[in-house]
Amino acid sequence: MQPLSISLLQTHLFWEDPQQNILQIEEQLKTLPPHTHLTILPEMFTTGFSMNPKAHAETMDGETVQWMKKKAAEKKTILVGSVMIKEGEKYFNRLLWVLPNGQVGQYDKRHLFAYAGEDQHYTPGQKRLITSVNGWRINLQVCYDLRFPVWSRQRSAYDEEGNFQPEYDILIYVANWPARRAEAWKTLLRARAIENQSYVIGVNRIGADGNGNEHAGDSQVIDPGGNILHSCESRAERYSTTLNPQLVKDTRDRFPFLRDADGFMILSDDFSE
């Protein structure tokens, strides 16, 4: 792994107003440091956490995906965030991993937030997305997934030469996590870092949504030992830093806890309709 430069864009989201949200995010993108490898936006960054996909969902050929491709190419950065996506008669809360060359990876949110009725409007995903950049392996997840540690748990293994090899090095959560449960957000982010001995990055929004739910932000970067390297305040903020690969290696070498972890398998549910 080589050092990895990242930027977090914590912002207010205009309710169900993709044009306004894209305009303000473009302003934040203008401040990106040169050579930023990875730029991370919140969950549903064009609409806020809306249960109205019939009115606002786009296809993978739609304006938002095209905009992400354009900006990733212009800024020479990988752009990450989730949006409403329609495929056939189904809707997904889909995290997009958009490369400067136009390639797109995708992860559909597995755990839908039934408390807000998300499960009534969207289809859950069944597969994790672990991708890579600069030698880092990155596990991408969305908001409520944070409450389910098995879904993010390292599935450690040994390679052909007998070397121990954890599954990933960075765990990313994009979110619309409400302020009244902020302590759970901050506590669970640290827990995921400690138990998986990986960097954890949580990118949340600020401000009130269309249902009156307040969001405090608290976007964070946490190291593999659970130490908080940065916590954003409750305001719009673009935070940039560089992740140190040696810290991952040193943590895992000094405290080889993952070697003692239980082996397990996640059985996929049948979500077909």
Active-site positions read 43, 109, 143
- The token duo for 256 is 């080889």
Which element (helix H / strand E) includes 7? strand 4-10
What's the token pair of residue 192?
């995921």
Helix H segments across the chain? 18-29, 53-56, 63-75, 149-152, 182-196, 245-254
Element of type H or E holding 243: strand 237-243
Collapse the DSSP code of 231 into the 3-class scheme (helix H, G, I; strand E, B; otherwise coil) and give the result. strand
DSSP string, 162-185: S-EE-S-SEEEEE----GGGHHHH
Distance from C-alpha of 115 to C-alpha of 213, rounded to nearest angstrom: 13
Q: Name the DSSP letter for residue 125.
A: P
Distance of CA 209 to the CA centre of its chain: 20
Residues 86, 227: Cα–Cα separation, whole Å: 39
How far apart CA 249 and CA 165 sit, in angstroms, is: 11
Do residues 197 and 257 touch, judged by C-beta distance below 8 A?
Answer: yes
Residue carrying the six token digits 């121990």: 164
